[in-house]
Amino acid sequence: MNAASAPDTAFDAILEVEELRKEFVSHRGRMRVRAVDGVSFSLKRGEILGLVGESGCGKTTTGKLIMRLVEPSSGNIRVEGKDAVSLDREADFAYRRRVQMIFQDPYASMNPHFKIRDVLEEPLLIHGIGASRTERMKLVEEVMEKVKMTPASEFMDRYPHMLSGGQRQRIATARTLILRPSIIVADEPVSMIDLSTRAEILHLMKTIQSDMDLSFIYITHDISTARYFTDRIAVMYLGRIVELGTQDEVIDHPAHPYTKALIEAVCEPVSGRVGIMRDLKVKGEIPSASDIPSGCRFHPRCLFATEACAKEPEPELQDLGDGHAQACRRYSEIQYGR
């Protein structure tokens, strides 16, 4: 294997996103929200990519665009080299079987009148899998074993409200797996789950991911769980990716001032921090996506911004080698004092 020397070709990318944009228009066109504003990345086969950022950074919209739940204003999405933006009804149907989503709130995402067996059978019915109920129930049992809801018979006839948050999120995971997808988009799958079980769910998803060779997009505001769960991290700010790289590179050697600020703000469970002020390397709060600043969109909050940052066109991602890329035009000056 000479994987190291092989270029990042389209062959090992299962999903490619190119210059993706989504603009929401409201107030009869007087308000335009550029929720996703030129996002490009590729997801390798069997990889977990984290989309990390604060609320309003466009991470969830990016996930929904990939899921085809919202239509892009412009840009391309390709799955295994094939266009995924304009699909006819039949192709759309097949697409949804391949690309599945785990939602944030496992309570709101399940029909409360459905028993667990019905929750899990529904995707099979929709996609016409399994000739008989018995056959489908066999698949349901199998998938419940996969997410460690065993013995399956004990949980099958329960309703969602009879399960804990962690158990519900297992069922939500099972519901996506039952269609044997190749890509899973998980939008904050553990943020509503108690800390003590959060790790358990992440661990389960990671095991399933490697067992089934799934490709995963993990959307989160919590960079600490991304450290545990992901292979690569894309840091998003106000609709764009500002830094992209392996999780070790991004967290241990952050390049973009925004990533640095984000990492600086994270609390750690260690002693010796009580009462010490945090030196936050950022000004103010995230502006509205309806009023995106000129030039580099981070410049009003950046401690390193110069006049050029406000005036020059938006900086693109620059490669720093090893697939680590960042979008600050002053990177080398800041990093090396040049």
Partner 1 sequence: MSDTILKVRDLKLHYFTSKGAVRALDGLSFDLARGETLGLVGESGCGKTTTGVALLGMPSPPGRIVGGSVVIDGTQIVGLPDRELRKNVRWSKISMVFQGAMNCLTPVYTIRELMAETYRVHCGPEALGTEGLEALMEKYVRLVGLSESVLGRYPHELSGGMKQRVVIAMALFLEPKVIVMDEPTTALDVIVQAQILNLIKVLKRDLGLSYVFITHDLSTEAEIADRIMVMYAGKMAELGSSEDIFGVPRDQGDSRSGPLHPYTQMLLASTPRLHRRVSELAFIPGSPPDLVAPPSGCRFSPRCPFARTKCRQLDPPVHEFGKGHLVACWKAMEESEYERS
Within 221-250, which residues bind partner 1 (CB under 8 A)?
A: 221-225, 227-228, 248
161 makes contact with partner 1 (CB under 8 A): no
Among residues 150, 164, 294, 335, the one that binds partner 1 under rule CB under 8 A: 164
Cα→Cα distances 216→11, 187, 198, 233, Å? 17, 11, 18, 12
- Per CB under 8 A, the list member of 130, 166, 293, 300 interacting with partner 1 is 166
Q: Would you count residue 272 as binding partner 1 (CB under 8 A)? A: yes
Cβ atoms of 186 and 216 closer than 8 Å: yes
DSSP state of 281: S
Asked if 55 is part of the footprint of partner 1 (rule: CB under 8 A), the reply reads: yes
Nearest to 168 by CA among 120, 218, 230, 100: 120
Is the CB of residue 124 less than 8 Å from the CB of residue 178? Answer: yes
Q: Give φ, ψ of 91 to 5 degrees.
A: -65, -35
Spatial contact of 204 and 170, defined as CB atoms under 8 Å apart: yes
Smallest gap from Cβ 122 to partner 1, in A, equals: 27
Pick between residue 15 and residue 255 the one whose CB is nearest to partner 1.
255
Reference 23, options 296, 289, 314; nearest CA is 289
Q: Would you count residue 198 as binding partner 1 (CB under 8 A)?
A: yes
CB of 240 to partner 1, least distance (A): 17
307 touches partner 1 by CB under 8 A? no
Q: Of the candidates 195, 213, 307, 313, which one interacts with partner 1 according to CB under 8 A?
A: 195
Q: Give the separation between CA 190 and CA 182, rounded to whole angstroms.
A: 21
Instruction: Please report how close the Cβ of residue 49 comes to partner 1 at its closest, in angstroms.
Output: 17
Residues that bind partner 1 (CB under 8 A): 54-55, 164, 166, 194-200, 202-203, 221-225, 227-228, 248, 251-252, 261-278, 280, 282, 285-286
